[in-house]
Structure 1
Amino acid sequence: MNLGELVATGNTANLYEWNNKIVKIFKENLPPTESFYEAKKQEYAYSCGLNVPEIFEVRKVNGLQAIIMEFIEGETLGHLLLKNLNDADRYINVLVKVQKRIHEVKVESDEIERMDEKISRKIESAPSLNKSQKSMLLNKLNSLKYEPRLCHGDLHPFNLIMNEEVVSIIDWVDATAGDIRADVCRTYLLIAQHSLDLAELYLQLYCCNINISKSEIRQWMPIIAGARLAEIVSSEDTQRLMDIVNQFCNGCSTDDVL
């Protein structure tokens, strides 16, 4: 296949526009089931009536795993936000409303991966955490109870595409059945690595819109930070994450780590 224009590049895959479709080509170092794993989650989100690109095919392209999916016209919310920071409230509100819609989906336990299982694996594999820190984080994780809802797992403004008033949600590989408060915490951390002011604005708007307290979000902060340490992301400040984990492990209240 002669791939068209490179649309975007990420840690795990490159996206190309081809015949008015998007071809997501996965990198060679990933498990051989990665494309099917991600496609299944995206198809589930699509089946829930969310604005998600339709998947047409999962196959090998030029010897590499690939997903061929619907091409969505528009610009990412992240790019629009950066160009119009004076309208930050408007764009962050769009993010909050989309996330609220995702979180309205109740998930049966066997329909999609459980959040606690995914987070546990990440904490266990985080190379910068010692045995004691892992144990404390896992104990905290196991103490938290929640009703399983659909969580995107990596929702930030660059994973939303706007076309006039229609917003489409992309990149579903980290989706789980989990606690919406953890999903909010993850989004907060992702935004905060670039702008603490925008992260605080997001948290304020979400909590007001959904009637959840910041304290409920804060209890997830060391867990999400610890799990994030298992990911290899060049833009992330790992010391920031370690500081959050260390504060928790040293006995600080979770109210003090956000």
Structure 2
Amino acid sequence: MLGQLIANGRTSDVHRFGSGGAAKVLRSTTPQHWAQAEASFTAAVRQLGVPAPEVRDVIVIDGRAAVVFEHIDGPSMWQRMLEHPSDVSTLTREMASIQRAIHEAGVPEGLPSLVDRMHLKFSVSDELDAEERATAAALLDRQPAGASLLHGDLHPGNVLLGPDGPVVIDWFDATVGHPVADIARTMLLLQRDATDLRHLPGATPAMISSMHETFTDAVRDRVPADLLRGWCRLRAAGRLAEKTDLDVSGLLALWRGSATDSGADDD
């Protein structure tokens, strides 16, 4: 029943499926209940009017859980950037606008708290020692919690440019929290030497620098600098638990780079 391979990632492979569908098939090493979670989160945000794909079913294929989505006929924003480097700045600003719209869309029921999810990440991170885990947890608790819808992993590879406009995919990391936390995550994913950039295959240093600079400029007017510093550290520490990067030196440097804890008491 599986058709052409569309994309593959660390936790799943995406194939064409049936008539106008796309099946995201989890790897055997991925917790199989993640499929139902992503399906539920995606359906919930779509009901708010957020541009997310329609969820058609959750099934099992060859012993592996899979989510069947509608197939979005169009390239990813990242593919468009690779094909048209002159459009990098324009598309990056569009992504920033999409993220802002997500933050202003409202909050569906059933999404986890970002703070709870981050505490769990810190508790299982073996890249941080006990003192660092405690420091990260304390810094997290000093941040304003916020109450916005967060995508949790927004970058150009997770935006599809469909015939009816952009569609945001990969909602497994969706949570409720502070918008600056989501902005900090995207900034981390667009930063040179922070991650191994496997989520943006083919990226050049010039493209990454341009995206990071443009995105930072686009969000500057709504991001308090002290709050951003704290969340950038926390996001770097949190990503360590995800085991997504072969070289974690950049993440450790970002986490350890500021000797002064940042925090705020106001929402």
TM-score between the two structures when normalised by the length of structure 1: 0.90
The alpha carbon displacement at 1:90 in A equals 0.8
Q: Secondary structure at the match of 1:202?
A: helix
Show the counterpart of 1:31.
31
Q: Pairwise mapping of residues 137-216 of structure 1 onto structure 2 (< 5 A)?
A: 137-163=136-162, 166-193=165-192, 194=197, 195-208=208-221, 211-216=222-227
Identity of aligned residues (%): 24
The AA in structure 2 aligned to 1:219 is: G
The AA in structure 1 aligned to 2:60 is: K
Runs of 4+ with deviation above 3 angstroms: 252-255
The alpha carbon displacement at 1:204 in A equals 1.1
Show the counterpart of 1:244.
254
Task: Give a deviation string over 1:178-203, Cα, whole Å, max 9, x none.
Answer: 11101000000011145234212211
Show the counterpart of 1:220.
231
The AA in structure 2 aligned to 1:89 is: S
CA distance in 2, matches of 1:32, 1:74: 28
The AA in structure 2 aligned to 1:225 is: A
Show the counterpart of 1:45.
45
Q: Pairwise mapping of residues 12-31 of structure 1 onto structure 2 (< 5 A)?
A: 12-19=11-18, 20-31=20-31
> How many residues are aligned here?
248
Q: Secondary structure at the match of 1:167?
A: strand
Q: Which moved more, 1:39-48 or 1:99-108?
A: 99-108
Unpaired runs of at least 5, structure 1: none
CA-based RMSD: 1.8
The alpha carbon displacement at 1:165 in A equals 6.3
CA distance in 1, matches of 2:143, 2:227: 10
CA distance in 2, matches of 1:32, 1:24: 12
Q: Does residue 115 of the first structure (1) align with residue 128 of the second (2)?
A: no
The alpha carbon displacement at 1:115 in A equals 0.2
Q: Secondary structure at the match of 2:67?
A: strand
Unpaired runs of at least 5, structure 2: 198-207
Q: Judging changes above 3 Å, is the alpha-carbon distance between structure 1 residues 137 and 47 closer, same or farther for their aligned structure 2 residues?
A: same
Task: Give a deviation string over 1:20-67, Cα, whole Å, max 9, x none.
Answer: 200111111222311111111111111111111101111111221011
CA distance in 1, matches of 2:118, 2:177: 10
Q: Pairwise mapping of residues 61-100 of structure 1 onto structure 2 (< 5 A)?
A: 61-100=61-100
Aligned partners of 1:123 and 1:230 also within 8 Å: yes
Aligned partners of 2:53 and 2:168 also within 8 Å: yes
CA distance in 2, matches of 1:85, 1:253: 38
CA distance in 2, matches of 1:203, 1:164: 28
CA distance in 2, matches of 1:212, 1:247: 20
